[in-house]
Amino acid sequence: MLNISENNIQEQIDLTQYKSIQQVGRKIYYKKFNRIMKYAFAFVILFLFLPWTQTIHSSGFVTTLRPEQRPQTIQSAIAGKIEKWFVREGDFVQKGDTILFISEVKDDYFDPNLLERTESQLKAKTLSVESYEEKVKALDKQIVALSRERILKLEQTRNKLLQAKLKVKTDSIDFEASKTMLSIANKQYERTLSLQKDGLKSTADLEEKRLKQQETQAKIVSQENKLLSSKNELINAEIELSSIEAAYIDKISKAMSEKYSALSSQYDTEAQVNKLQNQFTNYEIRSGMRYIAAPQSGYINKALQSGIGETFKEGAQIVSIMPSDIEFGVETYVSPIDLPLLHVGEEVRIFFDGWPAIVFRGWPNVSYGTYGGKIVAIETYISSNGKYRILIAPDNTDNPWPKAIRAGSGAQTMAMLNDVPIFYEIWRKINAFPPDFYQPASNEKNKK
């Protein structure tokens, strides 16, 4: 058939008698097949120019939009021992409902009357503070009374001192007068003596003058003694004034010292009262921690501590709870190369695991079983899986999400980007280029 050999088989055998050779050898053109191929080629060319919506596909799971609505574990702030359970797994609890009761495992809190005893100590210390306050008030009154008495006593002593000064002055004048009288008496005696010698005065007159002279001398000695006595009284008054000043300073200082000692004891007792109040409050709060209550309304998922009599440390996880009133969202992760293409408020299509969906990634309008969402948060730091976390909320303008979805179920997301021809998308995929970068209109308005 290839005419490689010089021996031609057609000269020896008539090949036309074979049906297969007849079919192969015919040069009849199949017009229908050629027409179909032309239409198919034209369809492919037109198909390549059809619009295609670029999307960023990622996988995630259903979560909640608010952190307090996510599943949480209830922990115990104190170490304890399980005494009684009040709920079962799957029960619905309201906020504040008691989940279980625990008892103390530390010997510092074994006393069942710990609160009453601490309160009694607190009352005793409070009364002690009041006693010190009354003592301080009494000492203040005593200091005021001593100060007043000191003023009066000093005034009295000053008056006495003034009297002594005046008496010294009076005695001094009397003493000087006595000196003058003595001088006069001496002169009179001498004149009388002279006259008596001349015979003009009698001896009786001379003796009278002599007697008066001696009386005056005796009087001057008495006046001098009286003056010295007055000076002594003046000195005594000055000493008394100083003594009174020193005595009252000592009394007031002693009272002030007692007052400050009482104040020091008062402040020390007040510090003890504050410490006891703090201790009592801590005991009161700790006693309330024996009852583990639900922080919010929800369903009991799983008991992480079980049994009766089981002990645990502070911060141990007791039970997990799922809040009842929650707002669902989708948490998904995208590659770093796609992160610049996503913006807050961008529309996303979501199809949940367990809900039938027919998805055409390039034609979201013809997809079935997808739900609308909007990006509400984009993480600015890469996660441990090497991708960035995106949080998606329901789109209120689209169909509502299924009511039966639960937190933790799987979800697939498609973030819709630019509309491009199919041939461009195929060329981009072959070359492994990222989708086209674009800026949403809303962001452009915000920038303006």
DSSP string, 131-181: HHHHHHHHHHHHHHHHHHHHHHHHHHHHHHHHHHHHHHHHHHHHHHHHHHH
Question: Measured between alpha carbons, how far is 100 from 316 in angstroms, rounded to an integer?
Answer: 14
Reported as a single tens digit per residue, the pLDDT across 295-341 is 889 999 888 888 888 888 888 899 999 888 888 889 999 888 777 77
Q: What is the pLDDT of residue 8?
A: 65
Question: Measured between alpha carbons, how far is 84 from 80 in angstroms, rounded to an integer?
Answer: 12
H or E stretch at 56: strand 51-64
Q: What is the pLDDT of residue 239?
A: 86
Q: What is the pLDDT of residue 100?
A: 92
Question: Measured between alpha carbons, how far is 379 from 268 in angstroms, rounded to an integer?
Answer: 55
Classify 340 as helix, strand or coil: helix
Place of tokens 């303006």: 448
Does residue 391 contact residue 60 with C-beta atoms inside 8 Å? no
Does residue 83 contact residue 103 with C-beta atoms inside 8 Å? yes
Place of tokens 């400050």: 260
The Cβ-side half-sphere exposure at 303, using a 13 Å CA radius, reads: 17
Question: CB-based burial of residue 393 (10 Å sphere; 0-12 exposed, 13-18 middle, 19+ buried)?
Answer: middle
Does residue 315 contact residue 412 with C-beta atoms inside 8 Å? no
Place of tokens 């939009």: 65
Q: What is the pLDDT of residue 444?
A: 47
Domains defined for the chain, CATH in brackets: 49-69+326-447 (2.40.30.170), 72-97+294-323 (2.40.50.100), 114-288 (1.10.287.620)
Q: What is the pLDDT of residue 419?
A: 65
Question: Measured between alpha carbons, how far is 144 from 162 in angstroms, rounded to an integer?
Answer: 27
Going by C-alpha positions, the residue among 267, 286, 263, 265 that lies closest to residue 118 is 286
Question: Measured between alpha carbons, how far is 327 from 236 in angstroms, rounded to an integer?
Answer: 99
Reported as a single tens digit per residue, the pLDDT across 221-239 is 777 788 788 888 888 888 8
Q: What is the pLDDT of residue 23?
A: 62
Question: Measured between alpha carbons, how far is 101 from 80 in angstroms, rounded to an integer?
Answer: 9
What pTM value is reported for the model?
0.55
Q: What is the pLDDT of residue 448?
A: 46
Structure tokens at 129: 């503070």
First to last CA, the chain: 78
Going by C-alpha positions, the residue among 373, 293, 382 that lies closest to residue 75 is 293
448 residues of the chain, pLDDT tens digit each? 455 666 666 666 666 666 766 665 555 555 677 778 888 888 888 877 777 666 777 888 888 888 888 888 998 888 899 999 999 888 999 998 999 999 988 888 888 888 888 889 889 988 998 998 998 999 899 989 988 888 888 888 888 888 888 888 888 887 788 778 878 877 777 777 777 777 766 777 777 777 777 777 777 777 778 878 888 888 888 888 888 888 888 888 998 999 899 899 989 999 999 999 999 898 888 888 889 999 889 999 888 888 888 888 888 899 999 888 888 889 999 888 777 778 888 888 888 887 776 655 555 555 566 888 898 998 888 888 888 999 999 988 888 888 888 888 888 887 766 666 677 767 766 766 666 655 555 544 444 4
Query: In sequence order, what are the residues at sequence separation of 6 or more whose Cβ sits closer than 8 angstroms to the Cβ of residue 265?
Result: 132
